Amino acid sequence: MFLELERSLYPAVPVTFRKDGSIDYKAQASYAKWMDTQPITGVALWAHTGRGLLLSSSDREQVFNTWREALSKDKQIICGVGAKAEDATSNEDFVEKALEMGKHAKKLGADGILCYAPVYFRGKKDQDEWIVKYHTALDSLGLPMVLFYLYEAAGGITYSLDVLRELFALKNAVSIKMATLDSVMTYQDVANMLAKEFPDKVLITGEDRMFGYTIARGGKGALVGIGSAFCRMQKAMIDAYYDKDYKQFVELMLLVDKLAEVTFIQPMEGYIERMLHVLVAQGLVPKEASFDPYGPGVTDKERKAIEEVVKELEGLGW
């Protein structure tokens, strides 16, 4: 199997939850059909934006099938795969639960997997050993595998450069998604290592708050939550950089930043419902299907700021 990663845009899409926590699948299907008209490479399902670890197995399956039915055959689906740390009884159990989720994704027809950061091992004396074991187990699925470096300060787990070298040696590890939130140095260090030691591995950015910069610093594509809206603008930004149209690139980077600065703000867990409100403001998702039952909610002040930016971007033709 082959994952299209160069100049890619994979929106990590949210689930259209109602206020009571149930999923509005009609709204999800409508949103997915709209997404199919956008210049995307595919979508990431079951990722953090899609609350993948918090969905039941049956809801994961229905979410997957809804998107697969709505998307054209050339649009690829990457599934987030991992396990909830609080549900695991041991290191082995954590790995087994993640593998079960991976097998489910493969059975449904996922084109690739995004490995959740294994935070269960964080701070343990054999942390590095188990990080490698976890990824080795997921590698056995035989699907193209996107590693996920989620910086510890952003709720993830730190991978040393030596651990990353072991992970990149795995047969199906084709790419790494970086999400350091605000650690430019961490991003630069990994980007430099990839360029020098693993030029065949593809760095894709997951940096919503420094999206444009991280494309310029080695990101060949993107798998981002901010991509769940205003896809044309973000794909145009990526293309402008690789087409060496730097004036257009900088102009679009500043617009993408403007959207990020009203959605990816503290408390950071609120970004999912904020992105859903962007979709509401665009008329793409009904208000009653724009809740995140696991997040902190969205304030009226945040909604107003989002609506102002949406109006501005739409006024510019995006």
Residue-level pLDDT at 49: 97
What lies within 8 Å, CB to CB, of 58 at 6+ separation is: none
| DSSP letter string, 26-38 | HHHHHHHHHHHTS
Cα–Cα distance, 228 to 210 (Å, whole number): 16
Considering only CA atoms, which of 134, 132, 128 is closest in space to residue 158? 128
Amino acid at 118: P
Residue-level pLDDT at 169: 96
SS3 content of the chain, % helix, strand, coil (to 5): 55, 15, 35
Q: Is the dihedral of CA 281, 11, 242, 4 positive or negative?
A: negative
Which residues does residue 45 pair with via DSSP β-bridges, in sequence order?
Answer: 79
pLDDT class for 183, splitting at 50, 70, 90? confident
pLDDT class for 1, splitting at 50, 70, 90? confident
Are the C-beta atoms of residues 15 and 28 closer than 8 Å to each other? Answer: yes
What lies within 8 Å, CB to CB, of 26 at 6+ separation is: none
- Rounded mean pLDDT, 291-295: 97
Cα–Cα distance, 45 to 32 (Å, whole number): 11
Written as six digits, the tokens of 132 are 């490698």
Cα–Cα distance, 162 to 164 (Å, whole number): 5
User: What does the pLDDT look like over 146-158, one tens digit per residue?
Assistant: 999 998 877 789 8
User: What does the pLDDT look like over 56-90, one tens digit per residue?
Assistant: 999 999 999 999 999 999 999 999 999 999 999 99
- Rounded mean pLDDT, 86-110: 98
Domains of the chain: 9-243 (3.20.20.70)
| 182 or 24, greater pLDDT | 24
Task: Give the Å distances, CA to CA, from 10 to 112, 132, 137, 262, 269.
Answer: 12, 26, 24, 21, 20
Considering only CA atoms, which of 24, 1, 6 is closest in space to residue 291? 24
User: What does the pLDDT look like over 233-285, one tens digit per residue?
Assistant: 999 999 999 999 999 999 999 999 999 999 999 999 999 999 999 999 999 99
- Rounded mean pLDDT, 130-158: 93
Task: Give the Å distances, CA to CA, from 102 to 32, 81, 118.
Answer: 23, 6, 14
